[in-house]
Structure 1
Amino acid sequence: MILDDIIRSTGERVGNLKTLPALNPETLPHRSLAAAIRACRGKNAIIAEVKYASPSRGRIHDGSTPEAIALEFVAAGATGLSVLTEPTFFGGSTENLIRARRAVSVPILRKDFIIDERQLAETRLLGADAVLLIARVLGNRLAAFVDEAQVIGLEPLVEVHGRGEMERALATEASLIGINNRDLRTLTTDLSTTIRLAEVARDEGRLVISESGIIWPYDVRNLRRHCDAFLIGSAIMSARDRRRKLEGFVFA
């Protein structure tokens, strides 16, 4: 299973992380992704992803720097950015996040496979404002990771794919719930996943972000009454004209 391979690789990478210094969240700048989504008016809230590769598509993009991509995305109307930092399967790096952060002022989400609390401190020190926590990966450790993220000034985006994972997510204090339309085990996508799961989260006052498989502006139009924002990566990064592609989603 590809997810097992990713987690195994992540474990090896995390094993090389040194113990990081204690953080004082008040000394580090923070931009709220949740607040940016709530404040979005007259357009769709799009979290555009800096993503160079994926297990399902292989290499997606070469050539442009993280700074150039980040600036392009913000100019096209992105509400926030997601930056992949997983190196082996997604072609990401922590350096990409640092460089994107220096270039723009919108909230930035670190997207990686978080399995160790040291990664949370690292995420904050890198300059991210939010961090992806995958319910399937963390299991019964999810609530503890949500709490720790919030203590150090990170907004956790808890990612779910099924009802059981949604129940675990709603048992935490996370205000951001990401519904992944892609099954991480099979890599197949089904946009109706967002429709099936979103209502219960929104009834609980959480912000819902639809993730994966969003390819065309009409996907956004069909889903937007069910969610508050969209996280889109491959469809934008693989486009010949990234700015125009993103604007199509923002103003769909």
Structure 2
Amino acid sequence: MILDDIIRATQLRIREPEAATEMDCPLSLKEAITSVQDRRAVIAEIKFSSPSEGMIRERTDPGEIAEAYRKGGCAALSVLTEPAFFGGRPEDIAAVKSAVSLPVLRKDFIIDIRQIQETRALGADAVLLIAGLLKGRLGEFVCAAYAAGLEPLVEVHTPAEAAMALASGAEIIGINNRDLRTLEVIPGTTAALAGPLRNAGRIVVSMSGIRGPEDIRRLAPHADAFLTGTALMSAKDPKMMLEELVCA
């Protein structure tokens, strides 16, 4: 199973976090989403490949991509730092932060508490925590993220994971329309899970399977923000594609 391969590769990358250094105050992903008016709050993702798509785009300067996304009107950025399957690099976060003044979500497979401090040391503002991977440890990781000055975005795909996310205290919950174990995209997942999360006052982000404006319009009644990467990274003009999503 591809997810098991990713986790094994991730375990080999885990190191003791570097000593804390003076860093800028993190930007708020939550505020970036909730402050958007008269357009869609899109979190634009930088990733060069994926297990489901293979190579999406030849590797170029992440900072240049981030600047194009900023001009396209995104609310925040997501940066894949997993190298073996997604073509990411940890240093991509610094490149993006140097180029734009937008919140940056680190997307990776966080399975060890040491990766939380590492994420902050890299300069990220928020961190992805996958409920299906962390299970009973989710609350611990959410607390560790807040303590490190990071906003956790907890990813869920099932009703049980959504309940775990609510119990964890995370304020931003991402509903992944893709089943990470089969890589199948199930379009109705966001609509099926969003109700209780939004009723509880949580920010809901719909993730995966967003290919065009029509997907944004379909998901809009159920989500506060939309995270997309493949559609943007595979577009001939990512900025123009992002403008279409933002204005959907």
TM-score higher than 0.5 here?
A: yes
Q: Does 1:2 align with 2:2?
A: yes
Match of 2:222 among 216, 226, 229: 226
Q: Contact 1:180–1:210 at 8 Å: present in 2 too?
A: yes
Q: Does 1:78 align with 2:71?
A: no
Query: Could you tell me which residue of structure 1 aligns to residue 43 of structure 2?
Result: 47
Query: Could you tell me which residue of structure 1 aligns to residue 132 of structure 2?
Result: 136
Q: Which runs of 5+ in 1 are unaligned?
A: none
Deviation at 1:229, TM superposition (A): 0.1
Alpha-carbon separation, structure 2, partners of 1:93 and 1:239: 21
Deviation at 1:23, TM superposition (A): 7.2
- After superposing on structure 2, the runs of 4+ consecutive aligned residues of structure 1 that deviate more than 2 Å are 18-24
- The AA in structure 1 aligned to 2:13 is R
Q: Does 1:11 align with 2:11?
A: yes
Q: Contact 1:20–1:118 at 8 Å: present in 2 too?
A: no
Q: Contact 1:130–1:155 at 8 Å: present in 2 too?
A: yes
Deviation at 1:28, TM superposition (A): 3.7
- Residue 133 of structure 2: SS of its match in structure 1? helix
Alpha-carbon separation, structure 1, partners of 2:41 and 2:242: 11
Deviation at 1:96, TM superposition (A): 1.1
Match of 1:100 among 85, 96, 100: 96
Alpha-carbon separation, structure 1, partners of 2:154 and 2:59: 31
- Which of 61-70 and 125-134 deviates more? 61-70
Identity among equivalent positions (%) equals 52
Q: Contact 1:46–1:232 at 8 Å: present in 2 too?
A: yes
Q: Does 1:112 align with 2:132?
A: no
Deviation at 1:217, TM superposition (A): 0.4
- The AA in structure 2 aligned to 1:64 is T
- Residue 18 of structure 2: SS of its match in structure 1? coil
Classify 1:120/1:217 alpha carbon distance in 2 versus 1 (closer, same or farther; 3 Å).
Answer: same
Q: Contact 2:48–2:59 at 8 Å: present in 1 too?
A: no
- Residue 61 of structure 1: SS of its match in structure 2? coil
Q: Does 1:153 align with 2:149?
A: yes
- The AA in structure 1 aligned to 2:92 is N
Q: Which runs of 5+ in 2 are unaligned?
A: none
Taking structure 2 as the reference length, the TM-score comes to 0.98
Taking structure 1 as the reference length, the TM-score comes to 0.96
Deviation at 1:108, TM superposition (A): 0.3
Q: Contact 2:20–2:121 at 8 Å: present in 1 too?
A: no
Classify 1:19/1:51 alpha carbon distance in 2 versus 1 (closer, same or farther; 3 Å).
Answer: closer
Q: Does 1:197 align with 2:188?
A: no
How many corresponding residue pairs? 248
Classify 1:167/1:59 alpha carbon distance in 2 versus 1 (closer, same or farther; 3 Å).
Answer: same
Classify 1:57/1:23 alpha carbon distance in 2 versus 1 (closer, same or farther; 3 Å).
Answer: same
Q: String of CA shifts for 1:154-209, please: whole Å, max 9, x gaps.
A: 00000000000001000011100000000001101012100000011000000000
Alpha-carbon separation, structure 1, partners of 2:110 and 2:135: 12
- The AA in structure 2 aligned to 1:68 is E
